Amino acid sequence: MSELKTLDKKPKVLYFPWELKIHDEESWKTLNEKFEVIDYDCESVEHFIKECEKTDGKFSDIDAICRSVHFFGPPFGKQQIFGADVVKYLPKSIKIIVSGGHGYDHVDIKTLTEKNILYCNSPNCCAIATADVGTFLVLQSFRYLTYAEHQTRKQDIADMSKISYEAQNPRGRTLGIIGLGDIGIYVARACKALGMNIVYNNRNPKPQYEAEIEGLKFLPDVNDLFAVSDCIVVLCPYSEATRHLINFEAFKKMKDRVRLVNIARGAIVEEAAVIDALERGQLVGAGFDVTEFEPKFDDRILNNYKVTILPHIGATSRDSFEAFEKKCVENLVEYFYGSGQPGAVNPELFEKKD
């Protein structure tokens, strides 16, 4: 953090409240002391747009937007205002948007940049929480414990023979991680502790991690990863290049009995290819925190005991949301009171500002 400036006037921040009062106490105190905080209270996105269009509206002179809370949490979770159909209406006074979460595929970065608005996400704030879920899903894909629990709750545990036939220990198996970033390295460490061998595919090799984890091997061609992995974990960012990275052709390059985990973005894995691989018996275990058409789920996935499926809750822990708020407030303070250059998705605006 840079040495803080003294401002004549507190910057005005539009804040999205959440019905769950989760705060990082020190950051919440800083936000309210150093900024004029205005709570978002619009009845709809259309209501928000109308207020933005008014030259003397209540949002016409805001300097920043802070959405550090659960992006889809009530009461305003259904009001998504960072997409292409809304950001074009944002007031010219806005200089920066800070938001919780790693991903920003739902944000129109191009238009924000054209409007000279910085967008700051919150990388690494929920890496541990997401990695914990990823590790859980790797284990589930081998052992089918969620199915066993489901049957126990139904008091129907007479026949566990199919688990006996399909379940395997992860120890000694090869885990292939696609995307060895902040989350991926936590998954790698945890699964190494389970006795797994780890290979990874990434845009660039990570020698610092290879020095740390015995046997960690970089495979620059993802097809080589497909060929050797007993379980594949998808952790790469979503883009047009990675859309349907796991598809029908990809499964042709995988082992006859493979397992798959996705904790990145749903559309990286083609749902139809997953269903086909399950029905053919090639995919013998899977864990999905994200799916291509969430929150709609195909019955052939929902009703298959080999699949553990979660409602996109990888980041969902109290620790994550406290960390989101801390990072968002740090970025606001750095922008207005510090160097003016917080960690941003569109840092090219710093050069334009200079």
Q: How far is it, in rounded angstroms, from Cα 142 to Cα 162?
A: 13
Q: Which of 154, 152, 103, 36 minimizes the C-alpha distance to 265?
A: 103
Q: Where are the beta strands (DSSP E) in 55-99?
A: 64-67, 96-99
Which residue out of 67, 265, 330, 334 is catalytically annotated? 265
Q: How far is it, in rounded angstroms, from Cα 344 to Cα 354?
A: 16
47 has catalytic annotation: no
281: left (phi over 0), alpha (psi -120 to 50) or beta: left
265 has catalytic annotation: yes
Which residues is 234 bridged to in the sheet? Answer: 178, 262
Residues 28, 325: contact at Cβ < 8 Å?
A: yes
3-state secondary structure (DSSP) of residue 260: strand
Q: How far is it, in rounded angstroms, from Cα 285 to Cα 179?
A: 20
**212 φ/ψ angles, rounded to the nearest 5 degrees:** -85, -45
Q: How far is it, in rounded angstroms, from Cα 317 to Cα 186?
A: 16
Strand order in the sheet with 283-288: 217-218, 197-201, 174-178, 231-234, 258-262, 283-288, 307-309
Residues 254, 227: contact at Cβ < 8 Å?
A: yes
70 has catalytic annotation: no
Query: For the chain, how big is the Rg over CA atoms in Å?
Result: 23
Single-letter amino acid, residue 117: I
Q: Which of 210, 215, 179, 212 minimizes the C-alpha distance to 195?
A: 215
Residues catalogued as catalytic = 265, 294, 312
